[in-house]
Chain A
Amino acid sequence: MLQPFVQKKVFLVTLVVCFLVVTGLMFYSSQDREEELGLEKVFKIILYPFQKGVYYITTFVTDSWETVNTLGTLYRENNEMRKQISEMVTELSQLEQLKAENERLRELLRFKLTSPLELVPVEVIARNPSNTGATLTIDKGSNAGLTRNMPVITTEGLAGRLLNVEPFSAEVILLTDPRPGNSISGVIERTRELVYIYGGGKKGTCLVKPSDLSVRLQTGDRILTSASSLYFPKNLLIGAIVEVEESADGFEQQAYLKPAVDFSRIEYLYVVREK
């Protein structure tokens, strides 16, 4: 007679214990962690091949659809590009001569190369399932020599940095991700003054705060990575300021920055690795 009552009690006690464990987990995982939990790592490693398989099917379907739709345009573009290639071959041979000359001069002056950086091309295979976090999964990991906090860029500018690295994949935290700790320092291109950029604020933007009250921000200002940045090479384009807010007395400012990279359309990225 007591069995249903006891069963109900056991069920409720289990629920309460689970709730307490989960709450503890929330506090633990909210801190900036150098390493993921083992369970997170294992889950991502298991999920990756399936994500990659579905990614290839999706890409094949969307690419085929686009190719069929743009066949006529592609034919015209192809002819145009053939012409451009023949012109560029001539330019390239001239450039190679200049390069060789440049190297000879560098050797004569014993000038050290200024950019000892290597770009690792990667492909985006999956995105964060939640709409609040802004992270991407890429198709290369520690096996390709990638490590945590390496900068990630596109041809348009800075995209973010590596957050978690698995053997065959890695997770990129984008500039717009609103979690605490996702911030970088930058400089205003116009004045070279220091500002701090934080992910979050309005969706798809970053929050910009001046380093001190004398720094004035303007709409349209381009922000570049600064030399004092921990992870990023200097002078990479971060984005442009689209909105400036001032306090009632006009002293304090904060602004919203639209990143140079369009994160909604991103497919290919480069991870910057030191040579």
Chain B
Amino acid sequence: MNWWKYLLLVLFPLIIQTVVFPHLALFGVVPNLILLITICFGLLEGIRPGLYMGILGGLCLDLASSGILGINIIALGALGFGAGYLEKMVFKGYLLVPICLVQVGTVLAELFTYCILLAFGWRINFLSFLGSTLLPLCLYHLLLTGPVYYGLKKGLAYLKERQKVGALH
């Protein structure tokens, strides 16, 4: 896949995440579309594409959020790598696989972010973080994994088909 396709796959959800989803917040929480896409993409495409998507997505998230640069690069890079590693081990047509993986990924990424922020002196109450951020976020991701996974699968299949047709011509 070309680099600009990766960029488009990251920037479009990022804009939707920052502009549209605040209007659709669930218990005050906005879903992390980049995380969803990274895991689904890794699961569909393998280790390297998953890793690249995670690093690029994490970089864009970090640049847009004005926080500590690098947290999302590490978290999403690792998740993309992990999801890509599982690509050949699991049956991809079964929706339960991306759903479970996204849930585990969300918990790991959020806990990692929480620990780093805490280490750098951010004042976040753990119980409040657990009840007001992590649980609603898992619930939101549970609702969105299906549409994102199938949308991405269809989109990637369409792109590959077009590439094949282009190569034949």
Q: Is B93 an interface residue (CB 8 A)?
A: no
A126 near B116: Cβ-Cβ < 8 Å:
no
User: Do A128 and B18 touch (CB < 8 A)?
Assistant: yes
Contact residues in B for A40 (Cβ distance below 8 Å): 63, 66, 69
**What is the total number of residues of chain A having a CB less than 8 Å from a CB of chain B?**
48
The stretch among B94-102, B119-127, B143-151, B152-160 that forms the contact with chain A is: B119-127
B17, B55, B63, B121, most chain A CB atoms within 10 A: B63
Decide: A47 near B15, CB < 8 A? Known: A30-B120, A178-B122, A201-B125. Answer: yes
Chain A CB within 8 A of B32 CB: yes
In the assembled complex, B23 has its CB within 8 A of some CB on chain A:
yes
Q: Are A203 and B71 in contact (CB under 8 A)?
A: no
A180 lies within 8 A of B67 (CB): no
Q: Which of B15-40 contact A (CB under 8 A)?
A: 15-20, 22-23, 25, 28-30, 32, 34
Report the bound CA distance from A162 to B123 in whole Å: 20
B6 interface residue (CB < 8 Å to A) = no
* Interface contact B132-A204, CB-CB below 8 Å: yes
Q: Taking each of B11, B18, B72, which has the highest tally of chain A beta carbons within 10 Å of its own beta carbon?
A: B18
Contact of A44 among B16, B55, B64, B70 (CB under 8 A): B64
With a cutoff of 8 Å between Cβ atoms, the chain B residues found around residue A128 in the complex are 18, 64-66
Residues of chain A contacted by B129 (CB below 8 angstroms)? 132, 203
Contact A26 B68 (CB under 8 A): yes
Chain B nearest CB, measured from A59 CB (Å): 9
What distance in Å separates the Cβ of B90 from its nearest Cβ neighbour in chain A?
A: 23
Q: Does B86 contact A (CB under 8 A)?
A: no
Interface residues on B, range: 35 or more
Q: How many A-B Cβ pairs are below 8 Å? A: 136
Distance A171 CA – B113 CA, assembled complex (angstroms): 22
Provide the main secondary structure of the chain B interface: helix
How far is B67's CA from A28's CA once the two chains are assembled, in angstroms? 11
A203 to B34, CA, bound (A): 23
For B70, list chain A residues within 8 Å (CB): 22-23, 25-26, 29
Contact B68 A199 (CB under 8 A): no
A129 located at the interface, meaning its Cβ lies under 8 Å from any Cβ of chain B in the complex: yes
30 A-B residue pairs with CB within 8 Å? A23-B70, A26-B68, A29-B68, A29-B70, A30-B68, A30-B120, A47-B64, A51-B18, A51-B19, A54-B20, A55-B19, A58-B23, A126-B18, A128-B64, A129-B14, A129-B61, A130-B61, A130-B67, A131-B137, A132-B122, A132-B124, A133-B66, A133-B67, A135-B66, A178-B123, A178-B124, A200-B123, A201-B124, A203-B28, A203-B128
Beyond contacts A29-B70, A51-B19, A202-B128: 5 other A-B pairs, Cβ-Cβ < 8 A, are: A47-B14, A50-B11, A51-B18, A133-B65, A198-B123
Q: Which 8 A-B pairs have the closest CB atoms?
A: A200-B123, A29-B69, A203-B132, A180-B121, A26-B70, A22-B70, A126-B18, A202-B128
B residues contacting A by CB (< 8 A) are 11, 14-20, 22-23, 25, 28-30, 32, 34, 55, 60-61, 63-74, 113-114, 116-117, 120-125, 128-129, 132-133, 137
